[in-house]
Chains A and B, each alone.
Chain A
C-alpha cells in the first residue's frame, strides 16, 4: 500500500552521473597536462565520505527540519555508489600496492560491501517478517520466549496430572526442552528456510504416536506454541540482523574516514 518515492534516488543519481562524468573528463584533462588528477578525485572522495558519514548524525537531529530521513537515505545510497566509482577512478587499480593503501582499500571495500548487504537486507527481511503474521518489539522477544516456555511447562505438568502418564513430560525433557530454551535454527530463519517446522514435524512431534487422546489434546497445544515460537525466533533473528549490521557498517565507516584523513595528511606532507 505504501509507495516509496523513487524521485529522490533518480534525482541524486542523475546529479551523480553528471558530476562523475565531469570529474572523469577533468581527470583526463589534468593527466594530459601532466598534472596529478588524484588530487581532484581524492578531495572529492574525502568530501563524499564525510557527507556519507553525516547520515548517521542526521538520525540524532530529528528535532530540526533538515529534510526527511528517507531523502537522506536516498542521497546516502546514491552517494555510496558514486564514492565506489570515484574510488576506482582515484586509485586506478582494484588492489593498490603498499600496506597502508591496502588497509585503506580493504576497509573501503568492506564498508561498501556491508552497506550494499545491509541495504539489501533492509529491503527483503521486513517483508518476510510481515508474512509471519505476528509482530513483536525486538526488546520484548526474550520475555515472550520465556512466557511461551512457561506456558508449555504448565501444559506438560497439567497433562501429566490429568492423563496420569508421563510420556509427554519425558518427550519434553528429552527433546522439546532444547527447542524452547532459546532461539533455534537461526541460519534457516535468516535465509528464509523452514528448518524449525521440519524439526517440529520430525523429532519434535515424534512422541505423538505413543500418547493417548487426553495427552494428544495437550500435545497439540504444545506444538501450536512451538510453531508460535518459531515465528518469534524468526523475528529475533531477522530483526537482530537488521539492527546489528550497523555495528559493522558504522565502525568500518569511521575507520575508513580516519585512515583517509591520515592518508590525506601524508599525501600533503610528502607528495604534494
Chain B
C-alpha cells in the first residue's frame, strides 16, 4: 500500500493475483502443453487476457500422490477436477470404503447410561484431548504442509476386498463436483505413485468456455452420468419414456452463474449491495425453463425504485414454468414477458430447458400450473422482511440454523450449558448472532445445504455424516489448518488450542507452536435424544430450523 498525497493506494487486484499452485514452473507448462490431451485444446481461441498458458499457470497445479493416498472421497465437496498425468488411480466401486479408512468420524449412538456418565466424566479444563488416539489414523503431512492427506495403509488388502476400476494416464475426473457443486460420487485413491494435474473450477470453466472439445467432453460426461437421473426426478420429465428423455437431455444447456467462491466475497462485502449475476430479467421473453441444480437464486420483482425479493430457489426448484406455459397456451398474446427476475445468490448452477423442447414433450401432457410465483407478491412488503433478511445474510443456506426467539428467550444460557455437557465441557456455539426483529440466528453451525467449509479440507476431516446429514469434524484427522474456519461465511467454526488433562497446551515438538483443532456444532451427533440445546430450552425459544421450510411457514 502506498500513501499518495494523503490517499492510500494499491494495485487493483487481478484475476490471477493468487495462483492455485505456487510452484508451476516454465518447464511444467512446456511439458503440459506437449501432452496430447492438452495440445488438443485450441489455444488460439482463448482471449489474450485469459490465455491457455495463463490458465495452466494460475488455475492449475501439479500434485504428486504416493501409494494409497486418497485423492477424492465419496461425499466430499470439491472445487477442482483432476487429469491423470502419470501413474494409476483406483475408483472404489463396491463395497464402499468404511468411514474410518476415509479419515471420517465413526459415529456411534451413545446409550442412556453412557450419555449419563458425561455428568461426571466431562473435563473442567477447556479443550482437553487424549492425543494417544491421534496416532492410529493414516495421516500424511501437517497443517503447514501443502500435501497433507489421509492415506490407505494397506492398498493390496483394499484391492482384494473391494471391486475397483482403474484410471490411467489421460483420465479426467472430478469435473462434475467442480462445476456442479455436487458431492463427489466416488472415492479414488492412488494405486502407486501418481502425478495429477489439479484444475480449479475457474480454470475448468475457462477451458470449457473456449474449447469446444473439452466442452463436449465435459458435457457428454454429465449427460451420460447424471442428467437423465436428474430429469427423471422432476415431476415434469418423470413421465417421459427413454426416447423422449434422451431427446430432452440432448437439448438441455448447462449454465453457471456467479462465483464458486461466493463465501469469500460475501465475507468481504457482508451487508453490501454487490451486483448479483442475473439469469433472467423481468420484462424479457421467456426462452427456457431454468432448473436449479446447485446453489441458490433470488426471485425478485421491481417495486418502487428497488427489487423486492418474493422468494428464493434452491436445488430441485425451477423457474419460468408459468410464463412459458402461458405463452404456449395463449399464442395470440404477443407480448408475453417474464414477470419476475432471477439472480444468483453467490453461485448457482442451472439447467436451461429450451421452450421448444417443453412445447413438444411436456406441455401437451401437463395441467396448467396451479399457482404462479407472482402469487407470492400479493402480500404486503412488510411480510417479506424476514425473507429479505435471510436472503441477504445467506441464511437460506441453512438446514439446521439455531434460531432464537428473543421475545421468549430469558437469556439463562441453559442451552449453552447443555451444549457443554454433551461436548466434554466445551460449548460448541455462541448465543450471539445476527438479529432481525425478535429472531436471532446464533453463531452455531447451520449444517448448510452448500457447505463451503468442506471445500479445501486437505484431509476430509470435515464431512457430512452419512447417517444424519450433519456436517461434522473428525478430530483425529483435523490438522488445524483453519481452511474450514476461514471459509465459513457465518464464522461458525472456531479454531481452538488443545490441552492435556493437566491443562497444559499441547505443542508441536519442533516449533513449540500450539496444536489447533477446528470445532463447531455437530448437532449432537451420537448423543441420544437429538440436539441438547433444543431440549434444554425451557421456554421453547430455541429451535433448529431449515430456512426453506421456515420461510414458507413463517413460524418456528
Q: Does A151 contact B (CB under 8 A)?
A: no
Please, how many angstroms separate the alpha-carbon atoms of A241 and B315 in the complex? 47
Collect the chain B residues with CB atoms within 8 Å of residue A2's CB. 403, 405, 407-408, 540-541, 543, 555-556
Collect the chain B residues with CB atoms within 8 Å of residue A129's CB. 406, 411
Is the Cβ of B112 less than 8 Å from the Cβ of A65?
yes
Interchain CB contact (< 8 A) of A125 among B405, B410, B529, B535: B410
Is the Cβ of B119 less than 8 Å from the Cβ of A137?
no
Is the Cβ of A3 less than 8 Å from the Cβ of B556?
yes
Please, how many angstroms separate the alpha-carbon atoms of A137 and B386 in the complex? 23
Closest to B111 in A: A64
Is the Cβ of A59 less than 8 Å from the Cβ of B536?
yes
Please, how many angstroms separate the alpha-carbon atoms of A152 and B529 in the complex? 49
Please, how many angstroms separate the alpha-carbon atoms of A3 and B550 in the complex? 13
Q: Given A62-B417, A65-B535, do A135 and B528 touch, yes or no (CB 8 Å)?
A: no
Q: Given A64-B529, A72-B538, A122-B539, do A242 and B412 touch, yes or no (CB 8 Å)?
A: yes
Residues in A102-158 with C-beta less than 8 Å from chain B: 122, 125-127, 129-130, 135, 137-138
Please, how many angstroms separate the alpha-carbon atoms of A43 and B409 in the complex? 36
Collect the chain B residues with CB atoms within 8 Å of residue A127's CB. 407
Q: Given A1-B439, A1-B554, do A63 and B539 touch, yes or no (CB 8 Å)?
A: no
Is the Cβ of A68 less than 8 Å from the Cβ of B535?
yes
Please, how many angstroms separate the alpha-carbon atoms of A5 and B539 in the complex? 10
Is the Cβ of A73 less than 8 Å from the Cβ of B411?
no
Is the Cβ of B406 less than 8 Å from the Cβ of A1?
no
Q: Does B527 contact A (CB under 8 A)?
A: yes
Q: Given A5-B540, A135-B432, do A69 and B408 touch, yes or no (CB 8 Å)?
A: no
Q: Does B452 contact A (CB under 8 A)?
A: no
Interchain CB contact (< 8 A) of B422 among A62, A130, A243: A62
Is the Cβ of B555 less than 8 Å from the Cβ of A137?
no
Q: Does B234 contact A (CB under 8 A)?
A: no
Most chain A Cβ neighbours within 10 Å, of B118, B409, B537, B556: B409
Residues in B434-470 with C-beta less than 8 Å from chain A: 435, 437-440
Shortest C-beta distance, B449 to chain A (Å), equals 21
Is the Cβ of A126 less than 8 Å from the Cβ of B411?
yes
Interchain CB contact (< 8 A) of A243 among B118, B412, B530, B534: B412
Please, how many angstroms separate the alpha-carbon atoms of A191 and B78 in the complex? 55
Q: Does B421 contact A (CB under 8 A)?
A: yes
Q: Given A59-B417, A63-B527, do A126 and B410 touch, yes or no (CB 8 Å)?
A: yes
Is the Cβ of B555 less than 8 Å from the Cβ of A3?
yes
Collect the chain A residues with CB atoms within 8 Å of residue B410's CB. 122, 125-126, 242
Is the Cβ of B440 less than 8 Å from the Cβ of A135?
yes
Q: Does A209 contact B (CB under 8 A)?
A: no
Is the Cβ of A63 less than 8 Å from the Cβ of B421?
yes
Closest to A72 in B: B538
Shortest C-beta distance, A244 to chain B (Å), equals 11
Is the Cβ of A69 less than 8 Å from the Cβ of B538?
yes
Please, how many angstroms separate the alpha-carbon atoms of A70 and B540 in the complex? 6
Q: Does B418 contact A (CB under 8 A)?
A: yes
Interchain CB contact (< 8 A) of B115 among A5, A63, A125: A63
Shortest C-beta distance, B435 to chain A (Å), equals 6
Collect the chain A residues with CB atoms within 8 Å of residue B439's CB. 1
Q: Does A60 contact B (CB under 8 A)?
A: yes
Closest to B435 in A: A135
Is the Cβ of A135 less than 8 Å from the Cβ of B417?
no
Is the Cβ of A69 less than 8 Å from the Cβ of B536?
yes
Most chain A Cβ neighbours within 10 Å, of B406, B414, B439: B406
**Interface 1/0 per residue, A57-86 and B, CB below 8 Å:** 001111111011110110000000000000
Please, how many angstroms separate the alpha-carbon atoms of A239 and B410 in the complex? 7
Q: Does B116 contact A (CB under 8 A)?
A: yes
Closest to A4 in B: B540
Q: Given A1-B438, A137-B431, do A64 and B116 touch, yes or no (CB 8 Å)?
A: yes
Please, how many angstroms separate the alpha-carbon atoms of A67 and B118 in the complex? 18
Is the Cβ of A138 less than 8 Å from the Cβ of B538?
no
Interchain CB contact (< 8 A) of A137 among B115, B407, B432, B529: B432
Most chain B Cβ neighbours within 10 Å, of A59, A130, A243: A130
Shortest C-beta distance, B46 to chain A (Å), equals 52
Collect the chain A residues with CB atoms within 8 Å of residue B406's CB. 126, 129-130, 135
Q: Does B532 contact A (CB under 8 A)?
A: yes
Shortest C-beta distance, A107 to chain B (Å), equals 24
Is the Cβ of B539 less than 8 Å from the Cβ of A73?
yes
Most chain A Cβ neighbours within 10 Å, of B119, B440, B530: B119
Is the Cβ of B411 less than 8 Å from the Cβ of A138?
yes
Please, how many angstroms separate the alpha-carbon atoms of A242 and B414 in the complex? 13
Collect the chain A residues with CB atoms within 8 Å of residue B440's CB. 135
Is the Cβ of A59 less than 8 Å from the Cβ of B408?
no
Shortest C-beta distance, A128 to chain B (Å), equals 9
Please, how many angstroms separate the alpha-carbon atoms of A243 and B529 in the complex? 27
Closest to A133 in B: B435
Is the Cβ of B407 less than 8 Å from the Cβ of A126?
yes
Is the Cβ of A70 less than 8 Å from the Cβ of B529?
no
Q: Given A135-B432, A137-B432, A242-B412, do A64 and B540 touch, yes or no (CB 8 Å)?
A: no
Collect the chain B residues with CB atoms within 8 Å of residue A64's CB. 112, 115-116, 528-529
Please, how many angstroms separate the alpha-carbon atoms of A2 and B556 in the complex? 5
Collect the chain A residues with CB atoms within 8 Å of residue B407's CB. 2, 126-127, 130
Collect the chain B residues with CB atoms within 8 Å of residue A243's CB. 411-412
Shortest C-beta distance, A47 to chain B (Å), equals 22
Please, how many angstroms separate the alpha-carbon atoms of A63 and B112 in the complex? 9
Residues in A2-37 with C-beta less than 8 Å from chain B: 2-5
Please, how many angstroms separate the alpha-carbon atoms of A61 and B116 in the complex? 7
Collect the chain B residues with CB atoms within 8 Å of residue A138's CB. 411
Is the Cβ of B555 less than 8 Å from the Cβ of A62?
no
Shortest C-beta distance, A67 to chain B (Å), equals 8
Please, how many angstroms separate the alpha-carbon atoms of A173 and B363 in the complex? 78
Collect the chain B residues with CB atoms within 8 Å of residue A125's CB. 410
Collect the chain A residues with CB atoms within 8 Å of residue B403's CB. 2
**Interface 1/0 per residue, A37-60 and B, CB below 8 Å:** 000000000000000000000011
Closest to A121 in B: B410
Is the Cβ of A65 less than 8 Å from the Cβ of B528?
yes
Is the Cβ of B555 less than 8 Å from the Cβ of A1?
yes
Is the Cβ of B438 less than 8 Å from the Cβ of A62?
no
Is the Cβ of A69 less than 8 Å from the Cβ of B537?
yes
Q: Given A63-B527, A69-B538, do A1 and B532 touch, yes or no (CB 8 Å)?
A: no
Q: Given A68-B535, A69-B537, A69-B538, do A239 and B411 touch, yes or no (CB 8 Å)?
A: yes
Give the 5 A-B residue pairs with the shortest CB-CB distance, closest first. Answer: A65-B529, A62-B418, A2-B405, A2-B556, A69-B538
A-B residue pairs in contact (CB < 8 Å), sample of 16: A5-B540, A60-B119, A61-B119, A62-B414, A62-B535, A64-B112, A64-B115, A65-B529, A69-B536, A69-B538, A70-B538, A73-B538, A122-B539, A125-B410, A126-B408, A135-B406
